[in-house]
Amino acid sequence: MSLRDNPALDAWLAGVLDLPGARVTAVDKLSGGAIQENWAVTVAAGATTRRVVIRRDAPATIAASRSRAEEYALIAAAHRAGVRVPQPLGFCDDLSVIGAPFAAMAWVGGTGYGPKVVRDTSLGGDRAALGRELGRQMALIHAIDPDPALAAILGPRPADPALAAVAGLRGWLDARPAPRPGLEWALRWAERHAPPPDRVTLTHQDFRTGNVLVDAQGLTAVLDWEFAAWSDPACDLGWFCARCWRFSRPDLEGGGLAARADVLAGYADAGGTVPDPARVRWWEVMAHARWAVIALQQGDRHASGAERSLHLALTGRIADTLEYQLLRMTAPEAA
Q: How far apart are CA 31 and CA 265, in angstroms?
A: 32
Q: What is the pLDDT of residues 130-148, one digit of tens each?
A: 999 999 999 999 999 999 9
Q: Which residues pair with 39 in a beta bridge?
A: 29, 54
Q: What is the pLDDT of residues 233-246, one digit of tens each?
A: 999 999 999 999 99
Give CA 234 to chain center in angstroms.
Answer: 16
Q: How far apart are CA 22 and CA 259, in angstroms?
A: 46
Q: What is the pLDDT of residues 175-207, one digit of tens each?
A: 888 899 999 999 999 999 999 999 999 999 999
Residue 267 · residue 201 · CB < 8 Å = no
Question: On the CB side of 164, how many CA atoms lie within 13 Å of its CA?
Answer: 13
Strand residue runs (E) in the chain: 23-29, 36-45, 48-57, 88-92, 102-106, 201-203, 212-214, 219-222, 229-231
Q: What confidence tier does 34 reach under pLDDT thresholds 50, 70, 90?
A: low
Q: How far apart are CA 52 and CA 64, in angstroms?
A: 26
Q: What is the pLDDT of residues 7-27, one digit of tens each?
A: 999 999 999 999 999 999 999
* Percent composition of the chain: helix, strand, coil (DSSP 3-state, to 5): 45, 15, 40
Q: What is the pLDDT of residues 40-53, one digit of tens each?
A: 999 999 999 999 99
